Amino acid sequence: MNDLGLPLREGDEGSAIRDLHRRLAAAGFPPGGDTERFDLDTVKAVRAFQASRRIVEDGSVGRHTWNALVEADNRLGDRMLYLRSPMTRGDDVNDLQQRLGSLGFDAGYVDGIFGPDTEHAVRNFQANQGVTADGVVGPDTIAALARLAGRRSGEKTIAEVKEAEMLRRNPAGIGGRRIVIGETGGLPTLVDALARRLRLDGAEILTLHHPDLAKHARTANDWDGTIYIGLTLADNDYSIAYFQTEGFVSAGGQGLAGHTSRRVSEVLEAEHPPIGMRLPILRETRMPAVWCRVGRPTTVVEQGPTLAAALHNALITWCSEPVDPSN
């Protein structure tokens, strides 16, 4: 909960719902109906918005959905963009990163976060276009981007190409890899069992047992991890998620999700499809990452050793084939 009374869900009323309706309409998903009631039309609009942003489609408005709505408020050119603390987030940053990446300027992950990689790409673009290379995206830089609208250096952004090339150049073995394994509660035995197997292979392992996924991302980045695999219990909607947003997909995450999906689905005898999503844990980790919704507690406990072996095998296979050849 916070000052807005999050989460907002069906049946709620008041000024917060009016603000929600306004933001949904501005993002292109007008609910219609009573603007101060969270009714079935609101649920449908929220689900549609969540699907468009590749976040969990539960029809309620928690912190992640609300943050996505706030970020949707800005279009490129609405405000000055520059490196600051905390870093600026928004759809306008996402658009900027896509445009720079498609023109061959490496802004890093298209994650909607204006970080050092994005600033560096902006400066390079400005120098290339004869604009003052100050890293600030103002009217002159927007105009330069507009002049080049429609041009592309290739089908993928430069960040996608570089990630795929780096993964293909990495040694095939798992020894020496810095692997972060995280869980938010209920799965310490599984995480520790997987960690033991990987350490025997010579990998460096950091295990995280904490409910705050933002802390997972910060710790994994600060530790300079090369792979993140997160695990959580789930009653339904089993899946293996990797980072994907409009105009960008993490090749390493997608490859790891594919291998993990096949191994986990076999062990738990339930489909765990690989799904491209924009979950914060995937968006904020600076490495190939997957988030696994693996099953109910009783099932996971019963299959714990076998599941740990399946996850271990998926990581071993991924190290040999990190990128799907078809992508």
Angle at 136 between CA 133 and CA 141, to 5 degrees: 70
Res 153 pLDDT > 70: no
How high is the mean pLDDT of the chain? 93
Query: Cα Rg for the chain, rounded, in angstroms?
Result: 21
In this prediction, residue 1 carries a pLDDT of: 36
Res 324 pLDDT > 80: no
Q: Which structural domains are found in the chain, ordered by start? A: 15-71 (1.10.101.10), 91-154 (1.10.101.10), 165-320 (3.40.630.40)
- Give the span between the Cα atoms of 17 and 299, in whole angstroms: 39
In this prediction, residue 4 carries a pLDDT of: 66
- Which range among 1-10, 54-63, 101-110, 119-128 shows the weakest confidence by mean pLDDT? 1-10
Considering the entire predicted model, what is its pTM?
A: 0.88
In this prediction, residue 169 carries a pLDDT of: 85
Pairing of strands 248-249, 239-245: antiparallel
In this prediction, residue 304 carries a pLDDT of: 94
In this prediction, residue 66 carries a pLDDT of: 96
- Give the span between the Cα atoms of 165 and 83, in whole angstroms: 28
Res 194 pLDDT > 60: yes
Left, alpha or beta for 177 (phi > 0: left; psi -120 to 50: alpha)? beta
Label each residue of the chain as H, E or C.
CCCCCCCECCCCECHHHHHHHHHHHHCCCCCCCCCCECCHHHHHHHHHHHHHCCCCCCCCECHHHHHHHHHCCCCCCCCCECCCCCCCECHHHHHHHHHHHHCCCCCCCCCCECCHHHHHHHHHHHHHHCCCCCCCECHHHHHHHHHCCCCCCCCCCHHHHHHHHHHHHCCCCCCCCEEEEEECCCCHHHHHHHHHHHHHCCCEEEEEECCCHHHHHHHHHHCCCCEEEEEEECCCCCEEEEEEECCEECHHHHHHHHHHHHHHHHHHCCCCCEEEECCHHHHHCCCCEEEEEEECHHHHHHCHHHHHHHHHHHHHHHHHCCCCCCC
